[in-house]
């Protein structure tokens, strides 16, 4: 009989196992793949952006914002840095973003695993947890090969984002449902968005700084600033990823979503007006009779995006500047501040870095035990907590893992 069984050897599970073992518990970790931390090893483009010094509830989804401070009071960013130092991982800050100095996500995985081994945590690999049930005084964990007994169980099986190879198959939702624990609807988060907009020409590879306002006919969903990447049929880049969870949800609810793109985000109205006036003056220069509007705009903005603006306005790219009135040219130039593009879907979970939705925090105690099932704790992406890009999702995995690990060990002692 174990004191604590941790399901899943990812970011949350390994942290939970260490904290439970440090609190004196006899711990077993069951992992369905053949190794620890497969997803963790891919984070931050292999560098592992493990947290962020700019922390607050607004960095997380709206449904988690009220409850999440309780958990960060119990295990903060500072405690995370100390925790990593205690397992030999030195961290450094880059503009608020925290990374291991090693620059290797793999070093984070191996340090977590080594600490588990030092604490004599038992691991079983390549066993898939299929069910958890109450068995007299204990909890029984059934895998595809064995059955284990424990006083407390921590579900840290992750959710749906990332490739199937890293274990992201959402098994736990169904196991939890059998225990009467339900999740809210799930959507991919931190994911590129799809667009069938016909006015986007072959823009593959175009990058531009912009302010994006995602909206439905009824309301604005989110506004984000940053570098957008336009690829055929797809919008990506940090500002797109940041808004993707609310957009994916609106699309799943059958809403029509568009994004208004301001391609001159660093210009305020006065500065932009001055820019427009200078462009209008250029139109009158001698020799402009032969110049097409597309060539005229060359240098004003990216040539592919110039084409998009003209297509949006149903104007021919070969039209001569001399044939365009001053008013028309002004309205073309003003269009760069409000290019509206349709958004038709979110890319698949395979391309997502997080999952929106999951078991809601109001179903949990302050120590991440499920209120209705004593001895059953949850950690990580499985909960209805998804953060912005920048280390917030891993921070949630460390915070929730540490809290659940300590509390499960205490529960097992009772
Ligand atoms: C490409 C990519 C890059 C990312 N980069 C960052 C970043 O830089 N910073 C950041 O903050 N976040 C990042 N994230 C998000 C971050 O990786 C997750 O938030 C985090 O890994 C979630 O931790 P977890 O422990 O809940 O789940 P996971 O890390 O997914 O671990 C779950 C584990 O449970 C195992 N498992 C699943 N089902 C079962 C079962 N039935 N039986 C046994 N084991 C099971 C899985 O195999 C897996 O090992 C990134 C995500 C992706 C996909």
CATH code, 146: 3.50.50.60
Q: Are 129 and 6 in contact (CB under 8 A)?
A: no
> What distance in angstroms lies between residue 270's CA and the mean position of ligand 1's atoms?
47
Mean pLDDT of 11-32: 98
Q: Of 329, 347, 365, which marks where a domain is finished? A: 347
Q: Are residues 203 and 171 in the same domain?
A: no
Q: Are residues 145 and 117 in the same domain?
A: yes
How many angstroms separate the Cα of 346 from the Cα of each of 9, 93, 168, 191, 269? 28, 32, 18, 7, 32
Secondary structure element (H or E) that encloses residue 228, with its range: strand 220-231
Q: Are residues 342 and 223 in the same domain?
A: yes
Number of domains the chain contains: 2
Distance between CA 208 and CA 335 in Å, rounded?
16
Q: Of 331, 347, 363, which marks where a domain is finished? A: 347
Backbone angles phi, psi at 144, to 5 degrees: -70, -5
Question: Any idea how long the chain is?
Answer: 414
pLDDT at residue number 205: 85
Q: Are residues 128 and 165 in the same domain?
A: yes
Q: Are residues 101 and 176 in the same domain?
A: yes
pLDDT at residue number 153: 98
pLDDT digits (tens, 9 = 90+) for 137-196: 899 999 999 999 999 999 999 999 999 889 888 999 999 999 999 999 999 999 999 999
pLDDT at residue number 204: 74
228 CB under 6 A from ligand 1?
no
Q: Are 92 and 84 in contact (CB under 8 A)?
A: no
pLDDT digits (tens, 9 = 90+) for 235-256: 999 999 999 999 999 999 999 9
Q: Are residues 365 and 331 in the same domain?
A: no
Atom index in ligand 1 nearest the CA of residue 10 equals 31
Residue nearest atom 37 of ligand 1, based on CA coordinates: 157
pLDDT of residue 231 exceeding 90, the answer is no
pLDDT of residue 232 exceeding 90, the answer is no
Q: Are residues 111 and 127 in the same domain?
A: yes
358 CB under 6 A from ligand 1?
no
10 CB under 6 A from ligand 1?
yes
Q: 200 falls in which pLDDT band (50, 70, 90)?
A: confident
Q: Are residues 176 and 237 in the same domain?
A: no
Write a three-state SS string for 74-96.
Answer: HCCHHHHHHHHHHCCCCEEEECC
Among 5, 6, 7, 8, residue to substitute to test ligand 1 (most atoms within 8 Å of Cβ): 8
> What distance in angstroms lies between residue 206's CA and the mean position of ligand 1's atoms?
30
Secondary structure element (H or E) that encloses residue 238, with its range: helix 238-252
Distance between CA 67 and CA 366 in Å, rounded?
9
11 CB under 6 A from ligand 1?
yes
List the domain range (segments joined by +) for residue 140: 2-187+353-413
Distance between CA 409 and CA 8 in Å, rounded?
17
Q: Are residues 359 and 228 in the same domain?
A: no
Residue 405, helix vs strand vs coil? helix
Residue % of the chain over a pLDDT of 70:
100
């Amino acid at each position: 009989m174990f004191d604590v069984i941790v399901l899943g050897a990812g970011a949350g599970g390994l942290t939970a196992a260490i904290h439970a073992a440090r609190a004196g518990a006899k711990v077993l970790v069951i992992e369905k793949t053949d190794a620890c931390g497969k997803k963790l090893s891919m984070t931050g483009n292999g560098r592992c952006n493990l947290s962020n010094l700019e922390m607050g509830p607004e960095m997380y989804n709206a449904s988690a914002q009220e409850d999440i401070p309780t958990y960060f009071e119990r295990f903060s960013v500072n405690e995370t840095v100390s925790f990593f130092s205690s397992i030999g991982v030195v961290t450094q800050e880059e503009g608020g973003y925290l990374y291991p100095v090693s620059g290797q996500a793999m070093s984070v995985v191996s340090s977590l695993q080594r600490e588990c081994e030092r604490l004599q945590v038992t691991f079983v690999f390549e066993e898939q947890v299929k069910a958890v049930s109450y068995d007299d005084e204990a909890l029984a964990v059934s895998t595809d090969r064995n059955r284990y007994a424990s006083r407390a169980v921590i579900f840290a099986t992750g959710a749906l984002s990332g490739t199937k190879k890293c274990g992201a198959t959402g098994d736990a939702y169904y196991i939890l449902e059998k225990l009467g624990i339900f999740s809210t609807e799930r959507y991919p988060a931190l994911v590129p968005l799809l667009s069938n907009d016909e006015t986007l020409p072959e823009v593959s590879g175009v990058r531009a700084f912009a302010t994006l306002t995602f909206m439905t006919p009824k309301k604005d969903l989110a506004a984000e600033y940053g570098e957008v990447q336009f690829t055929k049929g797809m919008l990506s880049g940090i500002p797109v990823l940041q808004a993707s969870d609310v957009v994916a949800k609106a699309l799943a609810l059958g809403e029509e979503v568009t994004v208004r793109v301001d391609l001159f985000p660093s210009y305020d109205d006065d500065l932009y007006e001055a820019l427009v006036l200078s462009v209008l003056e250029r139109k009158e220069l001698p020799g402009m009779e032969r110049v097409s509007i597309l060539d005229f705009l060359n240098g004003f903005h990216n040539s592919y995006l110039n084409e998009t603006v003209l297509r949006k306005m149903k104007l021919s790219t070969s039209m001569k500047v001399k044939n365009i009135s001053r008013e028309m040219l002004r309205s073309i130039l003003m269009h760069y501040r409000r290019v509206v593009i349709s958004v038709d879907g979110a890319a698949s979970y395979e391309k997502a870095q997080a999952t929106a939705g999951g078991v809601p925090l109001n179903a949990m105690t302050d120590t991440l035990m499920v209120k209705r099932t004593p001895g059953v704790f949850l950690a990580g992406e499985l909960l209805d907590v998804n953060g912005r890009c920048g280390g917030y999702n891993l921070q949630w995995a460390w915070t929730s893992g540490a809290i659940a690990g300590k509390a499960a060990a205490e529960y097992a002692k009772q």
